[in-house]
Amino acid sequence: MTSAKRPSGGKGADNAKKAVSASIENAEPARLAKPSKSSKAADAGKAVAAVKSAKPATGRAAKATAGKQEKPAYSAPALEKGLDVLELLASLSEGVTPSQIAQQLGRSLQEVYRVVVALERRGYIQRPPGEESLVLSTKLHDLSYRYPPMRRLIDVARPVINRASIEAYQAFHLAVLDGLSIRVVAQVDSPAPLGFRLRVGTQNPAIRTASGRLLIAYQSPSMQEWLFEAIGQNAPKSEVDWLKKRVEVVRSVGYEMIVGEALKGITDISFPILDAEGHAPAVLTMPFLASATEKVPMEDASRILYEAAASITTLFGGHLAEPRFPLANTGGPVGG
- The amino acid that residue 235 corresponds to is A
- Is 40 buried (19+), middle (13-18) or exposed (0-12) by CB count in 10 A? exposed
pLDDT of the residue at 74: 81
C-alpha neighbours within 13 Å on the C-beta side of residue 186: 20
pTM of the model: 0.64
Percent of the chain with pLDDT over 90: 62
Which of 111 and 142 is assigned the larger pLDDT?
A: 111
- Using the predicted structure, report yes or no on whether residue 18 has a pLDDT greater than 60: no
Domain boundaries 145-315, CATH class: alpha beta
Q: What is the mean pLDDT of the chain?
A: 83
Cα-Cα-Cα-Cα dihedral sign, residues 90, 92, 95, 101:
negative
Residue among 294, 296, 301 nearest 327 (CA): 301
Q: What are the tens digits of pLDDT across the range 257-309?
A: 999 998 888 999 999 999 999 999 999 999 999 887 778 999 999 999 999 99
Domain boundaries, the chain: 77-137, 145-315
- Using the predicted structure, report yes or no on whether residue 156 has a pLDDT greater than 90: yes
What distances in angstroms separate CA 224 from CA 216, 218, 234, 247, one per listed residue?
6, 9, 16, 10
Q: What are the tens digits of pLDDT across the range 191-239?
A: 988 778 889 989 999 999 999 999 999 999 999 999 999 999 999 999 9
**Contacts made by residues 105-112, CB under 8 angstroms, sequence distance 24+:** 105/81, 107/81, 111/81, 112/81, 112/85
Contact present, 299 and 326 (Cβ < 8 Å) = yes
Calculate ∠ Cα 93-140-172, nearest 5°: 80
Helix (H) or strand (E) segment spanning residue 103: helix 98-105
* Residue 333, φ and ψ in degrees, nearest 5: -75, 165
The DSSP call for residue 283 is: E
Q: What are the tens digits of pLDDT across the range 115-138?
A: 999 999 999 999 988 889 999 987
pLDDT of the residue at 129: 84
pLDDT of the residue at 252: 97
Domain boundaries 77-137, CATH class: mainly alpha
What's the rounded Cα separation, in Å, for the pair 176 and 283?
Answer: 7
